[in-house]
Structures are given as structure tokens and as C-alpha cells.
Amino acid sequence: MLKFVKNTPFIEDTSLNDILRVCKTPFYIYSQEMINQKVNYTKKILGNNIFFSVKSNSNQAVLKLMQNLGLGADVVSIGELKRSLTAGFDPNKIIFEGVGKSKDDLLYAIQKNIRLINTESLEEIKLLEKLAKEKKKKINIGVRLNPNIDGDTINKISTGKKTDKFGIEINDINYIINLIKNSPSLNLISISCHIGSQISKIDAYKNTFAEMKKAADKFVNAGVEIKHVDLGGGFHVKYKEGDPNFEIQDVKRELDICFGKSKYDISFEPGRYLTAESGMLITSIITKKQNGGINYLIVDAGMHTLIRPAMYNAYHEIEAINNKSKNKISYAIAGPICESSDVFQKDIKLSEQSIGDILLIKNAGAYGKVMSSNYNTRELPAEILVNKDVFAVIYSPQKIEKYIDEDITPSWL
């Protein structure tokens, strides 16, 4: 994503120095070309039924780009549904997931005639039946099944084991069939699953596909005409050397083996896989210090800007723009937040750095800005989209004073 031309850093054909002149750090920057390439490659391998996981990067410009590239939207909240509609997605290309949809959420989705509401509990199916009767409508729904498959990822992003909160246990299929057959208001046309993120082992996909094929056939044999089978996402992204190799062609091979002769309409819901590598977080060194023999670089990005290292112990490669010095120093890169966990890396060798130098935190195009916060009463980071030799600010943060003004002090204080 980054290249140097005569010692000047470029993203695509845009100079990073030009962006730094108009946008203060920290900020996220995305390469439109890289997103285009990843989306088109994914469609080439897995087909056109791709629904972008909006929770991974919900900026309106990114959503509009995905819509322009022919993707649908996979949303997990009423806010994401509204974002997707605002970005121009056809309601018929929006799937509403989520383990905690309220009555108002469901009513809004029904009103907008979206493609599918994927239910995640038996109680939600019953609530939808009640709402459909009240509205005198027949509603197309799906059910998200929990196949009890361990994706062999970290626990905090596992979603497919029977002890995880997501989906309906696959053992409840007979109960679901009975509910649907006795409901004149619900039309079950889809089943879905998602076993987690950063799934690299192909056996996890193979086993999931087999369970979902078996489940779809069971519904059909019972007289419930399942048309769509959504197999989720979770495709692995390589964040560092030594991470497992993952090829989406291997997923396609297992898909063809399992579903090749079936008539089910297959879809996927990738998010991170499409945007992570297209994004970087640009941050400046505020100060330097040494504690207990550790050389700290304190930067203006922190866990409020990119929470993944603090929350998941996730690794992001960091590159320095200033590589003039041949003297390599072992640094700890830490943010300004008043938390000991606000550290990006604890032992990274870089050329000697100075206050004001720029660092690039890579593979930050997914679960970055979208998970940022105002913790410690700090501004959110800006977002920049680069398209060849032009760039646009696609999110400009509110000033701190604006956030303060949003608080309401009661009259008795």
C-alpha cells in the first residue's frame, strides 16, 4: 500500500506529505484501489453473492464504494441498517443480523422491506410472527444456526461454539420447523451461520459447510423450502510474518465439494477480509521517555483510536517514515491514554526516532475507526480515502467543545 518515491511516502499516487499538510494526526487512510482489488478478487472466486459486513468499517464513503462494486450489506444494528440505506444499498440487498434486535428494530426492518431478517433465537421468531400478524404481512426470514464448530480463533471473536451467544442451536431445527409450519405470517427461506473471525484452518470451513448442507436438507425434506444458505465470513487476514497462510481458493474448493450439486443460493459476509489491508493509521510521536530501561515512544494515537491491541492483544505492523539513522533502537510504542494497556508494541526495532516523526500502523482498515471512542475526552480520528492521485476527508471529527456541549447539567447543580 505504501511506496516511496525519492524518499517521499505515497499511498497510490498521492503523497502522504500532502495529506499531512491538511489533516492532523492521528487519522485513518484507506486505499480505494486496494479495496477494489480485494472485492473483485473475492467476487471472482466466490461469486457475486457477497454481503459486506458493515460493522468492520461503516464509513459512508466506504459503504458507497461497496455498493458501487455490487455488494450487498450485512448489518447488525438499526444504525447500520440506516447507514446502508443512506449509502444507497437496495433494501433487497440488505441482511439484518444481530443477537439483540428490539421490537422497534424489527418493525423498522419490516417497514423497509429488506431482503432478510436473520433471527438468532426462538423468542425472536415468535416476536416476528406476532409483528407480522399485526402488520398483516408475510415476512421472509432466515435463521442463524449455531453449528457448534470451533474456528480455532481467539475466544473473544469466536461465534460458532454452542456456548457462544450467537445463533440458534442446530439441535433446535425440529422446533423451528414446527414454528414455521404453524405460522401463516413467516416464510423461512434462508439459513445462515458465522463461526468467528480470523479463521485460517480449512477444516473449520469444511465442517461448517457440511453441517449447513445437512441442516438445509433437513428443512427442505420437512417441507420448508430453503432457498439461500449464507455461510458467513471470518476469512483470515495476515497481520504479521508467521501468521498462517490462507487462500480463499481453498474455501471455494470445499464449497464446491459440499454444495456443488445443490440448488441452494450461496452467499458470504466478509468484512475484515475486504478492507483490513487497505487501511493504515497515521500517528505522530508526541514525546520520548525511558522507564525501567524501556525506550518509550508516546504517540497521539492510542487505544481510543485503535483498540484491537488492548482488547484482543492483536498485532499490527508499525513502520517509521524516518529511516535516516542507521542506529536501530528497541522501542515500545504507546498511546497517550491513562491506561497501562495502551501499548501498540512493546519491542520493535526502528531507526532512531524524534519527536514529531510519523509512524504508520498497518492493516487498520477494519475494526479501527469504527471501534474508536472519546475516552479521556479526546477527539475521534479523521478518515481519508485515496483514489489514485486525489484524496478526500471522509470523516472530520467534532471538536472537543462540541462533545462537552452534548452533556446536560441538571438545574439543581
Q: Assess if residue 413 is contained within a domain.
A: no
Write out pLDDT tens, residues 357-372. 999 999 999 999 999 9
What pLDDT does residue 157 have? Answer: 47
Same domain? For 24 and 39 the reply is no
SS3 string of the chain?
CEEEECCEEEECCEEHHHHHHHCCCCEEEEEHHHHHHHHHHHHHHHCCCEEEEHHHCCCHHHHHHHHHCCCEEEECCHHHHHHHHHCCCCHHHEEECCCCCCHHHHHHHHHCCCCEEEECCHHHHHHHHHHHHHHCCCEEEEEEEECCCCCCCCHHHECCCCCCCCCEEHHHHHHHHHHHHCCCCEEEEEEECCCECCECCHHHHHHHHHHHHHHHHHHHHCCCCCCEEECCCCECCCCCCCCCCCCHHHHHHHHHHHHCCCCCEEEECCCHHHHHHHEEEEEEEEEEEEECCEEEEEECCCCCCCCHHHHHCCCCCEEECCCCCCCEEEEEEECCCCCCCCEEEEEEEEECCCCCCEEEECCCCCCCHHHCCCCCCCCCCEEEEEECCEEEEEECCCCHHHHHHHCCCCCCC
Same domain? For 271 and 281 the reply is no
Same domain? For 41 and 184 the reply is yes
Same domain? For 135 and 215 the reply is yes
Write out pLDDT tens, residues 265-306. 999 999 999 999 999 999 999 999 999 999 999 999 999 999
Q: Assess if residue 412 is contained within a domain.
A: no
Instruction: Give the structural domain span for 130.
Output: 32-275
Q: What is the CATH number of the domain that holds 285?
A: 2.40.37.10
Prediction pTM value = 0.94
Q: Choosing from 23, 193, 258, 338, which is the catalytic residue?
A: 338
What is the total count of domains within the chain?
A: 2
Domain stop point among 275, 309, 333: 275
Same domain? For 342 and 199 the reply is no
Domain stop point among 275, 292, 320: 275
Same domain? For 79 and 105 the reply is yes
Same domain? For 213 and 203 the reply is yes
Same domain? For 263 and 205 the reply is yes
Q: Assess if residue 363 is contained within a domain.
A: yes
Domain stop point among 275, 307, 329: 275
Q: Is 338 a catalytic residue?
A: yes
Q: Assess if residue 136 is contained within a domain.
A: yes
Give the mean model confidence (pLDDT) for residues 195-203.
88
Q: What is the CATH number of the domain that holds 259?
A: 3.20.20.10
Write out pLDDT tens, residues 321-345. 998 888 899 999 999 999 999 999 9
Q: Assess if residue 78 is contained within a domain.
A: yes
Reported as a pLDDT band with limits 50, 70 and 90, residue 197 is: confident
Same domain? For 330 and 248 the reply is no
Same domain? For 329 and 261 the reply is no
Same domain? For 107 and 14 the reply is no
What pLDDT does residue 219 have? Answer: 95
Same domain? For 314 and 173 the reply is no
Q: Assess if residue 411 is contained within a domain.
A: no
Write out pLDDT tens, residues 67-76. 999 999 999 9
Write out pLDDT tens, residues 132-166. 999 999 999 999 998 878 655 555 444 555 567 77
